[in-house]
Amino acid sequence: MTNARTRRHPRVQKTTDGRSKQKTMDDGNFKWTGLCYLVETFSLNSVDRRVNRRGTSPPPTPDSLLPQVRATSGRKMSVLDLQLVQQHFSVFVSLVNQVLDRVYSSAERLRSAGTALVDSHGQGYVVLRREAYLAYKDNEKIRSQCFERMYRNVLEQAARIILSDWIRRELMNSALSVLTADESALFRLQQNRYVPPELVRRVRKECCVVKDDGKSFYYSLSVLKQLRRALDEQLLAARGEPLGRRGQQRRRLQELLSDAHESESVRAVLIRCVGTWSQMGFPFTTPRMVAPVEDFSGSTENMPGQGYWYSADPERQDEMLFFVKLPEPVAGREHMLSPYKTRTASFRFLDWLPRAAKDDLRRAGNAEVQGHHLRARSLRVRAAKFSDMHGQLVNTVMLQHATYNLSLLKAKRNPDPERVRVLTEEVAKLRETRRCAPPRLVLRGDRLELQLPFQPPIKQAVDEILGPREYASRAGADRGLRENIAVSAEGGVDELISCAALMRKRELLRKQTRALSSDVRRKRNNWNRKRPGVSVPGHIMKRERHLSSLWMKVRRLDTEIARQVSSQLVWFCEEHAVKTLYMEDLKAYQPPAGNRTLSWNMSTNLWSKVLETTRYMRQSLGHPYGGIWTVNPAWTSRRCNMCGEKGIRVESADSTTEARGGEYFYCPSCNTHVHADINAARNLSQSSPVPGRTQLAYPTLSITQ
């Protein structure tokens, strides 16, 4: 599960004075925590495929085994359905790129759209459709390719791309302005290994379209990295030297700036490039949409015209039918439960939420009997969350069908007034309790995913399970080399959190991908060299599909490892009443070279995923913005948590001989022996929010429940 990064709003009803009558879906009980939605993913299947479920049918007899295997195994989507989805996404992506081409056709159009999107708050399609050159009714070419509700989604997707690109352009202009006025900052940017943090803050402060918070810091950092790379390439091209790999470019530039004979000419080239870009503009390219993704957030009404439709399968328990309305150039197949007639792409998905809630309640009862009260509470919270999500999905389905039936009834010549009144009251009641946001479709290879954003369960439901809580302590969490996380709370409570079995499986798969990717690259290069322009044979494509499936398994393992580690960390904090959790800020960290396995482990232990998942889970429990600070990790692994002096790494708990990369920490000053990651976690828990050393991930509010 991941937190939704975009704001979705329902249709806003206006009163006579122009004010909003309907509240947005962000006005939930958990808005004060910073969490808007819990996003769950459902795999879409072809409508004719039987979804395998545990314990729903008796074991097959040998005579019927083969037909059942054929019906329930293999690809989730048939070849025809996959081709239909690919055609639909190709039309959607093409339309988004057409909108981008029109906006970027002139600098004035881009400036007008970017400025308006910065000032707006969500619903970017409302801003773009005001422009005559983007209006649906004024563009015959667009009307021939899609219906109006789909065009809203196109404009919404294009608005997000334009807003992101416009902010990057404004940050780049601010960076060029700062570097033009301060040549010493320009030379530090090019000569230092890392981008100076004070320069990032100056650029962020100079730009008026971003907020001065933690999130915009990393956005500004990425812009400065992009500028530095462009300067490196311009300088090497001016000297007639090959570009090479990125690491080679950086080392070469540092050598030139350190050379007394070359530094003056290099500085002159840098100043000239920055001055030219400051006057003429940085050479940006027009952004393009490539990924097959469609978000229905721009079409939030509950009528069939919005482009998606839910329907419960009357023949199969806990299975939902999902229909997508296809644009005009794409022809689909009619389904009896679809309101789109022949312009329908039909799929089904398993509503696993009720079964998951039931299983969690059963496990919670077993944990309570065994005396594991904390685990029982965590399982009951998750069961309540799944039950609430199922209720939101059912509410959305009922609202869609009630609204559709009401429109059909009103379209009749002599509708039954009593029936109209009943349906009107039902629609109003369902609309008032609606909390599930519009879905999102993602095509990953030959798999189609449906992502549904749900609002978190109401705060009272969580409080009933967890009881009265008061959080006052603090904890530190350190990324471990041998364990995933070492956490230490006030009072001397330490714990090592690990998913050793999954990490070993992940490492095995990554080894297979390294060998297979090298083999595939070599065979494809040989084929293209000997037979240029000829499509590669089947045996090479088969190995490429195998490589793609391996990477898909690795990504699924990454998500599961982050979920399990974060869950253990979050409930450790709940058990010890942790209010503020300090974690390392490693977004710009690069492991030292030459340490082989040590460097590999430090660069592949999913720290960013764990950080985001932990924040997400703590928000879902009611902690404002997760209550997480990200701390500068400098010297936390080398300084003793007892006396503050520099210590050494040793191999065992009783050793005093220094060993590089040792598992334990020894302080000669106070004779302290402790696990090295626990020592770092204790140092993190003692951190204080000092400007320049501690970055506030999100504003931390007091929480007493």
Q: What is the pLDDT of residues 540-566, one digit of tens each?
A: 999 998 998 899 899 889 999 999 999
* Amino acid at site 377: R
How many whole angstroms separate alpha carbon 231 and alpha carbon 278? 13
For residue 25, what pLDDT is reported? 34
Question: 3-state SS of the chain: helix, strand, coil percent to 5?
Answer: 50, 15, 35
Dihedral class, residue 244 (left if φ above 0, else alpha if ψ from -120 to 50, else beta): left
169 and 307 within one domain: no
Which pLDDT band, with edges at 50, 70 and 90, does 323 fall under?
very high
Do 344 and 262 lie in a common domain? Answer: no
Tell me: do 227 and 173 sit in the same domain. yes
Mean pLDDT on 244-249 = 81
Highest mean pLDDT among 23-32, 303-312, 391-400: 391-400
CB contact at 8 A, 453 and 39: yes
| 212 and 119 assigned to the same domain | yes
Give the domain-ending residue among 452, 478, 509. Answer: 452
Q: Is residue 347 part of a domain?
A: yes
Last residue of a domain, one of 224, 255, 285: 285
Residues 533 and 641 in one domain: yes
Indicate whether 255 and 305 sit together in one domain.
no
Residue 224 and residue 181 in one domain: yes
Q: Is the pLDDT of residue 238 over 70?
A: yes
Q: Is 67 exposed, middle or buried (0-12, 13-18, 19+ CB in 10 A)?
A: exposed
Mean pLDDT on 363-371: 94
114 Cβ contact list (under 8 Å, min separation 6): 162, 163, 165, 166, 169, 170
Same domain, 281 and 351: no
From 409, 425, 452, give the residue that closes a domain. 452
Contacts of 137 (CB under 8 A, 6+ apart): 143
Strands (E), 375-472: 440-444, 447-454
11, pLDDT greater than 80 = no
Residue 429 in domain: yes
Asked if the model's pLDDT at residue 457 lies above 70, the reply is yes
Overall domain count for the chain: 3
- Which residues 6+ apart lie within 8 Å of 162 measured at CB? 100, 103, 110, 113, 114, 117, 124, 128, 287
The range of the structural domain enclosing residue 6 comes to 2-15+28-47+292-452
- Average pLDDT score, the chain: 84
Angstrom CA distances, 536 to 514, 519, 541, 546, stand at 21, 14, 7, 15
Backbone dihedral region for residue 181 (phi beyond 0: left; psi -120 to 50: alpha; all else: beta): alpha
The radius of gyration computed from the CA coordinates of the chain, to the nearest angstrom, equals: 29
pLDDT score for 54: 64
Residue 87 lies in a domain: no
| Residues 337 and 475 reside in one and the same domain | no
Report yes or no on 272 lying in a domain. yes
Q: Give the per-residue pLDDT at 700.
A: 33
Q: Which of 281-290, 383-392, 402-411, 627-636 has the lowest mean pLDDT?
A: 627-636
Separation between Cα atoms, residue 109 and residue 131, nearest integer Å: 9
**Mean pLDDT within 695-699:** 43
Global confidence as pTM? 0.82
- Rounded percentage of the chain residues whose pLDDT exceeds 90: 45
Residue 78 pLDDT exceeds 80 = yes
Q: Are residues 233 and 299 in the same domain?
A: no
